[in-house]
């Protein structure tokens, strides 16, 4: 792989760097970030490096193609169909539009009971890796957009 050049000004791109939020990007060597004015001087081309989606050993329930694991820019995870794409010209999804958001996992916590209502607690891990204990009676009413059941939650640090 040779040196990549900027599509805007044809200068070589800088080596990829990882931003504070863990994203990878390459900036144009003809551009300079000025921390005082918080602006880029020169060429402002930036190429975001998106990791390749991970292939899953699962098939799309809609069309039977392979599913891939994709992570959004906000760190949310989803399974989507490998045949899906994005048509930049028409701004529409092409191919299969199957998407399954991964919202986290729930594990039982044997022997731990909710201090509010006495029902068993469960360990819930969110999609971005935060963990909390919550009451097993807790749920979400999609139609009313309201939590249902007991609202006890205890976030775990670290
Ligand atoms: Zn450039
Ligand atoms: Zn599909
Ligand atoms: Zn409870």
Residue 107 Cα to ligand 1 middle (Å): 49
Same domain, 74 and 60: yes
**What is the CA(104)–ligand 2 centre distance, in A?**
22
The answer on 108 and 72 residing in a single domain is no
Distance between alpha carbon 71 and the CA centroid of its chain, in Å?
Answer: 4
**Co-location of 16 and 43 in the same domain:** yes
Q: How far is the CA of 36 from the centre of ligand 1 (A)?
A: 21
Same domain as 93, residue 136: no
97 and 113 in a single domain? The answer is no
The pLDDT value given to residue 77: 79
Whose tokens are 């050049």? That residue is 5
Residue 137 domain boundaries: 104-156
**Would you give per-residue pLDDT tens digits along the chain (158 residues)?**
567 899 999 999 999 988 877 778 899 999 988 889 988 899 999 998 877 778 889 999 999 999 998 877 666 778 999 998 888 889 888 999 998 888 777 888 999 999 999 999 999 888 777 889 999 999 888 888 888 999 999 999 86
User: Do 37 and 58 reside in the same domain of the chain?
Assistant: no
User: Quick one: 15 and 26 in the same domain?
Assistant: yes
Would you say 97 and 85 are in contact if contact means Cβ atoms under 8 Å apart? no
Q: Which of 11, 29, 49 is the last residue of a domain?
A: 49
Based on the fold, state whether residues 63 and 38 are members of the same structural domain: no
- One domain for residues 115 and 146: yes
Residues 79 and 119 in one domain: no
Q: Does 133 lie in the same domain as 108?
A: yes
145 Cα to the center of ligand 2, angstroms: 29
pTM of the predicted structure, to 2 decimals: 0.43
- Total domains, the chain: 3
Tell me, yes or no, whether 30 and 1 share the same domain: yes
């Amino acid at each position: 792989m040779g040196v990549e050049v900027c599509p805007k000004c044809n200068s070589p791109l800088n080596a990829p760097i990882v931003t504070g939020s863990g994203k990878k990007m390459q900036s144009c060597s003809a551009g300079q970030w000025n921390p005082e004015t918080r602006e880029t001087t020169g060429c402002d081309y930036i190429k975001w490096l998106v990791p390749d989606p991970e292939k899953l050993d699962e098939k799309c329930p809609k069309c039977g193609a392979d599913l891939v694991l994709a992570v959004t820019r906000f760190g949310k995870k989803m399974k989507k169909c490998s045949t899906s794409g994005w048509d930049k010209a028409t701004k529409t999804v092409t191919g299969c539009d199957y998407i399954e958001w991964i919202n986290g996992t729930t594990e039982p916590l044997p022997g731990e009971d909710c201090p509010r209502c006495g029902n068993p607690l469960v360990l819930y891990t969110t999609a971005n890796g935060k963990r909390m204990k919550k009451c097993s009676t807790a749920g979400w009413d999609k139609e009313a957009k309201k939590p249902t059941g007991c609202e006890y939650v205890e976030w775990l640090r670290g």
